[in-house]
Protein backbone atom coordinates (compact mmCIF):
# COMPACT_ATOMS: atom_id res chain seq x y z
CA UNK A 1 0.00 0.00 0.00
CA UNK A 2 1.78 3.13 -1.20
CA UNK A 3 0.69 6.64 -0.34
CA UNK A 4 0.21 9.07 -3.23
CA UNK A 5 2.97 11.45 -4.19
CA UNK A 6 5.77 9.16 -3.06
CA UNK A 7 6.05 10.57 0.48
CA UNK A 8 5.56 7.94 3.17
CA UNK A 9 2.49 8.36 5.36
CA UNK A 10 1.92 6.31 8.49
CA UNK A 11 -1.06 5.56 10.70
CA UNK A 12 -0.94 5.39 14.50
CA UNK A 13 -3.87 3.43 15.92
CA UNK A 14 -4.78 4.28 19.51
CA UNK A 15 -7.73 4.35 21.89
CA UNK A 16 -10.10 1.43 21.47
CA UNK A 17 -12.62 0.31 24.07
CA UNK A 18 -10.50 -1.60 26.58
CA UNK A 19 -9.88 -0.62 30.21
CA UNK A 20 -6.56 0.79 28.98
CA UNK A 21 -8.04 3.30 26.54
CA UNK A 22 -6.62 6.39 28.26
CA UNK A 23 -3.11 4.94 28.38
CA UNK A 24 -3.41 3.95 24.72
CA UNK A 25 -4.39 7.46 23.66
CA UNK A 26 -1.33 8.84 25.47
CA UNK A 27 0.86 6.24 23.76
CA UNK A 28 -0.57 7.15 20.37
CA UNK A 29 0.07 10.86 20.85
CA UNK A 30 3.63 10.17 22.03
CA UNK A 31 4.34 7.97 19.00
CA UNK A 32 2.93 10.53 16.56
CA UNK A 33 4.86 13.39 18.18
CA UNK A 34 8.12 11.41 18.06
CA UNK A 35 7.59 10.60 14.38
CA UNK A 36 6.69 14.17 13.48
CA UNK A 37 9.88 15.31 15.23
CA UNK A 38 11.71 13.11 12.70
CA UNK A 39 9.85 14.79 9.85
CA UNK A 40 7.57 11.80 9.32
CA UNK A 41 3.93 12.22 8.28
CA UNK A 42 1.98 10.37 10.98
CA UNK A 43 -1.77 10.44 11.65
CA UNK A 44 -3.36 9.28 14.92
CA UNK A 45 -6.72 7.60 14.64
CA UNK A 46 -9.02 5.73 17.00
CA UNK A 47 -9.70 2.10 16.22
CA UNK A 48 -13.47 2.41 16.03
CA UNK A 49 -16.39 1.47 13.79
CA UNK A 50 -15.30 3.98 11.17
CA UNK A 51 -11.79 2.60 10.76
CA UNK A 52 -12.41 0.36 7.75
CA UNK A 53 -14.21 3.12 5.86
CA UNK A 54 -11.33 5.44 6.64
CA UNK A 55 -8.81 2.91 5.34
CA UNK A 56 -10.84 2.55 2.15
CA UNK A 57 -10.60 6.31 1.53
CA UNK A 58 -7.08 7.03 2.84
CA UNK A 59 -3.89 5.22 1.97
CA UNK A 60 -1.02 4.62 4.38
CA UNK A 61 2.31 2.87 3.98
CA UNK A 62 2.22 1.14 7.38
CA UNK A 63 0.72 1.41 10.86
CA UNK A 64 1.78 1.38 14.49
CA UNK A 65 -0.67 -0.38 16.80
CA UNK A 66 -0.58 1.64 20.02
CA UNK A 67 -3.67 0.01 21.49
CA UNK A 68 -3.27 -1.77 24.79
CA UNK A 69 -5.52 -4.42 26.24
CA UNK A 70 -7.41 -6.97 24.18
CA UNK A 71 -7.97 -5.08 20.93
CA UNK A 72 -4.31 -4.16 20.57
CA UNK A 73 -2.71 -7.30 21.92
CA UNK A 74 -4.93 -10.30 21.19
CA UNK A 75 -4.26 -10.25 17.45
CA UNK A 76 -7.80 -9.27 16.37
CA UNK A 77 -6.96 -5.79 15.07
CA UNK A 78 -3.90 -7.13 13.28
CA UNK A 79 -6.10 -9.73 11.57
CA UNK A 80 -8.19 -6.84 10.23
CA UNK A 81 -5.10 -4.94 9.08
CA UNK A 82 -3.96 -8.08 7.26
CA UNK A 83 -7.39 -8.31 5.60
CA UNK A 84 -7.12 -4.78 4.21
CA UNK A 85 -3.46 -5.19 3.25
CA UNK A 86 -2.04 -2.55 5.58
CA UNK A 87 1.34 -3.63 6.99
CA UNK A 88 2.08 -2.82 10.62
CA UNK A 89 4.86 -2.76 13.16
CA UNK A 90 4.78 -5.73 15.49
CA UNK A 91 3.89 -9.36 15.74
CA UNK A 92 1.51 -11.34 13.58
CA UNK A 93 -1.92 -12.30 14.99
CA UNK A 94 -1.07 -15.86 15.99
CA UNK A 95 1.97 -14.78 18.01
CA UNK A 96 -0.05 -11.99 19.62
CA UNK A 97 -2.67 -14.48 20.76
CA UNK A 98 0.02 -16.64 22.36
CA UNK A 99 1.57 -13.71 24.23
CA UNK A 100 -1.79 -12.19 25.25
CA UNK A 101 -2.85 -15.38 27.01
CA UNK A 102 -0.45 -15.50 29.95
CA UNK A 103 -0.80 -19.26 30.65
CA UNK A 104 -0.02 -20.02 26.99
CA UNK A 105 2.97 -17.68 27.05
CA UNK A 106 4.25 -19.33 30.22
CA UNK A 107 3.90 -22.79 28.65
CA UNK A 108 5.85 -21.73 25.56
CA UNK A 109 8.52 -20.15 27.76
CA UNK A 110 8.88 -23.33 29.81
CA UNK A 111 9.14 -25.39 26.63
CA UNK A 112 12.07 -23.14 25.64
CA UNK A 113 13.76 -23.80 28.99
CA UNK A 114 12.92 -20.43 30.55
CA UNK A 115 11.96 -20.03 34.20
CA UNK A 116 8.51 -18.71 35.08
CA UNK A 117 6.72 -18.81 38.45
CA UNK A 118 4.69 -21.92 39.21
CA UNK A 119 1.01 -21.16 38.76
CA UNK A 120 -2.59 -22.36 38.59
CA UNK A 121 -5.28 -21.10 36.19
CA UNK A 122 -8.81 -20.88 37.61
CA UNK A 123 -11.75 -20.01 35.34
CA UNK A 124 -14.51 -18.10 37.13
CA UNK A 125 -17.03 -20.86 36.47
CA UNK A 126 -14.87 -23.56 38.06
CA UNK A 127 -14.08 -21.30 41.00
CA UNK A 128 -17.80 -20.75 41.59
CA UNK A 129 -19.14 -24.24 40.86
CA UNK A 130 -16.52 -26.27 42.74
CA UNK A 131 -16.76 -24.20 45.91
CA UNK A 132 -14.51 -21.19 46.35
CA UNK A 133 -13.28 -22.04 49.85
CA UNK A 134 -12.26 -25.61 48.97
CA UNK A 135 -10.54 -24.52 45.76
CA UNK A 136 -8.58 -21.77 47.49
CA UNK A 137 -7.49 -24.08 50.31
CA UNK A 138 -6.00 -26.51 47.79
CA UNK A 139 -4.45 -23.66 45.84
CA UNK A 140 -2.59 -22.38 48.92
CA UNK A 141 -1.48 -25.93 49.75
CA UNK A 142 -0.07 -26.31 46.25
CA UNK A 143 1.59 -22.93 45.71
CA UNK A 144 2.13 -21.65 49.25
CA UNK A 145 2.23 -17.97 50.16
CA UNK A 146 2.73 -15.19 49.13
CA UNK A 147 0.92 -15.25 45.81
CA UNK A 148 0.20 -12.98 42.86
CA UNK A 149 -3.33 -13.01 41.47
CA UNK A 150 -3.85 -11.58 37.99
CA UNK A 151 -6.24 -11.93 35.05
CA UNK A 152 -5.07 -14.63 32.64
CA UNK A 153 -5.47 -12.02 29.91
CA UNK A 154 -4.98 -8.31 30.45
CA UNK A 155 -2.48 -5.53 30.81
CA UNK A 156 -1.45 -2.53 32.93
CA UNK A 157 -1.71 -4.77 36.02
CA UNK A 158 -5.47 -4.19 36.15
CA UNK A 159 -7.06 -6.68 38.52
CA UNK A 160 -3.69 -7.77 39.95
CA UNK A 161 -3.11 -8.25 43.68
CA UNK A 162 -0.31 -9.53 45.89
CA UNK A 163 -1.61 -11.85 48.61
CA UNK A 164 0.38 -12.49 51.79
CA UNK A 165 -2.38 -14.09 53.89
CA UNK A 166 -4.82 -16.83 52.92
CA UNK A 167 -7.76 -14.83 54.23
CA UNK A 168 -7.03 -12.08 51.67
CA UNK A 169 -7.18 -14.46 48.72
CA UNK A 170 -11.00 -14.47 48.17
CA UNK A 171 -11.12 -10.68 47.77
CA UNK A 172 -8.17 -10.77 45.39
CA UNK A 173 -9.95 -13.39 43.28
CA UNK A 174 -13.16 -11.34 43.15
CA UNK A 175 -11.21 -8.28 42.03
CA UNK A 176 -9.40 -10.31 39.40
CA UNK A 177 -12.63 -11.75 37.99
CA UNK A 178 -13.98 -8.24 37.49
CA UNK A 179 -11.37 -7.90 34.71
CA UNK A 180 -11.56 -11.34 33.12
CA UNK A 181 -13.10 -14.79 33.13
CA UNK A 182 -9.98 -16.62 34.32
CA UNK A 183 -7.47 -15.94 37.07
CA UNK A 184 -3.78 -16.80 36.93
CA UNK A 185 -2.48 -17.40 40.46
CA UNK A 186 1.32 -17.46 40.65
CA UNK A 187 3.92 -18.02 43.30
CA UNK A 188 5.33 -14.65 44.33
CA UNK A 189 9.02 -14.53 43.45
CA UNK A 190 11.08 -12.16 45.58
CA UNK A 191 13.58 -10.11 43.66
CA UNK A 192 14.16 -7.14 41.37
CA UNK A 193 11.50 -6.43 38.77
CA UNK A 194 12.87 -5.43 35.38
CA UNK A 195 11.42 -4.79 31.94
CA UNK A 196 13.48 -5.68 28.89
CA UNK A 197 12.58 -4.29 25.49
CA UNK A 198 13.53 -6.38 22.46
CA UNK A 199 13.74 -4.77 19.02
CA UNK A 200 14.52 -6.19 15.60
CA UNK A 201 15.23 -3.72 12.80
CA UNK A 202 16.43 -6.37 10.39
CA UNK A 203 19.55 -7.82 11.98
CA UNK A 204 17.78 -10.13 14.42
CA UNK A 205 16.25 -9.42 17.83
CA UNK A 206 18.40 -7.56 20.34
CA UNK A 207 17.66 -6.46 23.89
CA UNK A 208 17.87 -2.83 24.97
CA UNK A 209 19.12 -2.06 28.49
CA UNK A 210 16.83 -3.44 31.19
CA UNK A 211 14.74 -0.92 33.13
CA UNK A 212 14.47 -1.60 36.86
CA UNK A 213 11.09 -0.96 38.45
CA UNK A 214 10.91 -0.18 42.16
CA UNK A 215 7.33 0.56 43.28
CA UNK A 216 7.22 2.26 46.67
CA UNK A 217 4.21 0.11 47.62
CA UNK A 218 6.14 -3.06 46.84
CA UNK A 219 3.80 -4.10 44.01
CA UNK A 220 3.88 -2.69 40.47
CA UNK A 221 0.11 -2.41 40.11
CA UNK A 222 -1.98 0.05 38.07
CA UNK A 223 -1.59 2.85 40.62
CA UNK A 224 2.17 2.32 40.81
CA UNK A 225 2.41 2.50 37.02
CA UNK A 226 0.40 5.64 36.42
CA UNK A 227 0.57 7.69 39.63
CA UNK A 228 3.40 10.21 39.56
CA UNK A 229 6.03 9.63 42.23
CA UNK A 230 4.78 6.19 43.27
CA UNK A 231 7.53 4.22 41.50
CA UNK A 232 11.27 4.66 41.05
CA UNK A 233 12.86 3.66 37.73
CA UNK A 234 16.49 2.92 36.98
CA UNK A 235 17.57 2.79 33.36
CA UNK A 236 19.73 0.86 32.95
CA UNK A 237 18.78 -1.47 35.81
CA UNK A 238 21.17 -1.84 38.75
CA UNK A 239 22.41 -5.29 37.73
CA UNK A 240 25.91 -6.70 37.49
CA UNK A 241 27.30 -7.01 33.96
CA UNK A 242 26.88 -10.80 34.01
CA UNK A 243 23.27 -10.65 35.22
CA UNK A 244 22.44 -7.86 32.77
CA UNK A 245 23.77 -9.99 29.92
CA UNK A 246 21.81 -13.07 31.05
CA UNK A 247 18.62 -11.03 31.45
CA UNK A 248 19.06 -9.63 27.93
CA UNK A 249 19.55 -13.14 26.52
CA UNK A 250 16.49 -14.34 28.46
CA UNK A 251 14.27 -11.62 26.95
CA UNK A 252 15.47 -12.39 23.43
CA UNK A 253 14.81 -16.09 24.04
CA UNK A 254 11.25 -15.29 25.22
CA UNK A 255 10.67 -13.09 22.16
CA UNK A 256 11.85 -15.93 19.92
CA UNK A 257 9.96 -18.68 21.76
CA UNK A 258 6.66 -16.84 21.27
CA UNK A 259 7.37 -16.17 17.59
CA UNK A 260 7.28 -12.38 18.03
CA UNK A 261 8.36 -9.78 15.50
CA UNK A 262 9.79 -6.23 15.47
CA UNK A 263 9.43 -5.36 19.16
CA UNK A 264 8.27 -6.71 22.49
CA UNK A 265 8.77 -6.11 26.18
CA UNK A 266 9.44 -8.92 28.65
CA UNK A 267 8.57 -8.29 32.30
CA UNK A 268 10.84 -10.30 34.58
CA UNK A 269 11.78 -10.86 38.19
CA UNK A 270 15.49 -11.34 38.89
CA UNK A 271 15.91 -13.38 42.07
CA UNK A 272 18.73 -13.18 44.63
CA UNK A 273 20.78 -15.70 42.61
CA UNK A 274 20.58 -13.55 39.48
CA UNK A 275 18.11 -15.85 37.71
CA UNK A 276 15.35 -14.30 35.60
CA UNK A 277 11.73 -15.48 35.91
CA UNK A 278 9.24 -14.54 33.19
CA UNK A 279 6.07 -12.77 34.30
CA UNK A 280 4.67 -11.85 30.90
CA UNK A 281 5.54 -10.58 27.42
CA UNK A 282 3.88 -7.51 25.91
CA UNK A 283 3.41 -7.14 22.14
CA UNK A 284 2.04 -3.57 22.35
CA UNK A 285 4.10 -1.99 25.15
CA UNK A 286 3.15 1.39 26.54
CA UNK A 287 4.83 4.33 24.84
CA UNK A 288 3.84 7.24 27.06
CA UNK A 289 6.30 9.67 28.62
CA UNK A 290 6.55 7.41 31.69
CA UNK A 291 6.46 4.05 29.89
CA UNK A 292 9.28 1.54 30.14
CA UNK A 293 10.00 1.09 26.42
CA UNK A 294 10.93 4.75 25.80
CA UNK A 295 13.12 4.62 28.94
CA UNK A 296 14.97 1.65 27.49
CA UNK A 297 15.40 3.43 24.16
CA UNK A 298 16.88 6.46 25.95
CA UNK A 299 19.18 4.23 28.03
CA UNK A 300 20.46 2.66 24.80
CA UNK A 301 21.32 6.11 23.46
CA UNK A 302 18.79 5.81 20.65
CA UNK A 303 16.20 8.20 19.30
CA UNK A 304 12.64 7.02 19.96
CA UNK A 305 11.33 8.66 16.80
CA UNK A 306 14.16 7.33 14.66
CA UNK A 307 13.61 3.78 15.93
CA UNK A 308 9.89 4.01 15.21
CA UNK A 309 10.57 5.31 11.71
CA UNK A 310 12.97 2.44 11.05
CA UNK A 311 10.42 -0.11 12.25
CA UNK A 312 7.70 1.46 10.09
CA UNK A 313 9.91 1.46 7.01
CA UNK A 314 10.70 -2.19 7.66
CA UNK A 315 7.01 -3.02 8.01
CA UNK A 316 6.12 -1.13 4.83
CA UNK A 317 8.71 -3.13 2.89
CA UNK A 318 7.28 -6.51 3.94
The Cα-based distances of 247 to 50, 206, 219, 266 in angstroms read: 42, 12, 21, 10
Mark whether 156 is an active-site residue. yes
29 counts as catalytic: no
Does residue 249 contact residue 215 with C-beta atoms inside 8 Å?
A: no
DSSP letter for each residue of 116-178:
---EEEEEHHHHHHT-HHHHHHHHHHHH-SSEEEEESB-STTTT-EEE-SGGGHHHHHHHHHT
Catalytic residue list contains 267: yes
**Catalytic member of 280, 291, 305, 309:** 280
Which of 18, 119, 161, 282 is labelled catalytic?
Answer: 282
Rounded-to-integer distance, Cα 87 and Cα 108, Å: 26
Is residue 282 part of the annotated active site? The answer reads: yes
Q: Pick the closest to residue 183 from 214, 152, 158 (CA basis).
A: 152
Q: Which of 9, 20, 28, 159 is the catalytic position?
A: 20
Q: Which of 286, 291, 305, 309 is catalytic?
A: 286
Catalytic, out of 61, 154, 226, 291: 226
Q: Of 110, 290, 300, 126, which Cα lies nearest the Cα of 196?
A: 300
Q: Quick one: which of 295, 316, 313 has its CA closest to 304?
A: 295
Concerning whether 20 is annotated as a catalytic residue, the answer is yes
Residue 214 β-bridge partners: 232
Q: Which of 265, 291, 305, 309 is catalytic?
A: 265
Please list, residue by residue across 20-31, b when 16 or more beta carbons sit within 10 angstroms of its beta carbon and e when fewer do. Answer: bbebbbbbbbbb
Other CB atoms within 10 A of residue 131 CB: 10
Q: 105: left (phi > 0), else alpha (psi -120 to 50), else beta?
A: alpha
> Which of 16, 30, 267, 309 does the annotation list as catalytic?
267
Task: Please give the positions annotated as active site.
Answer: 20, 156, 226, 265, 267, 280, 282, 286
Amino acid sequence: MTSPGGAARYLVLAGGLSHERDVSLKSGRRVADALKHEGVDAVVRDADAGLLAHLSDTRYDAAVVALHGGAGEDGALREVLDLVGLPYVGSAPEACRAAWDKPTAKSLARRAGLLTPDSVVLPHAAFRELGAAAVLDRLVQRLGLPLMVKPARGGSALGCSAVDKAEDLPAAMVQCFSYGEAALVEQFVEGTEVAVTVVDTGDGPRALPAVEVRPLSGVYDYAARYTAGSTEYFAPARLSDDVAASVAAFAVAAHTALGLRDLSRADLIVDADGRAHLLEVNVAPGMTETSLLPMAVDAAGLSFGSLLRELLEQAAAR
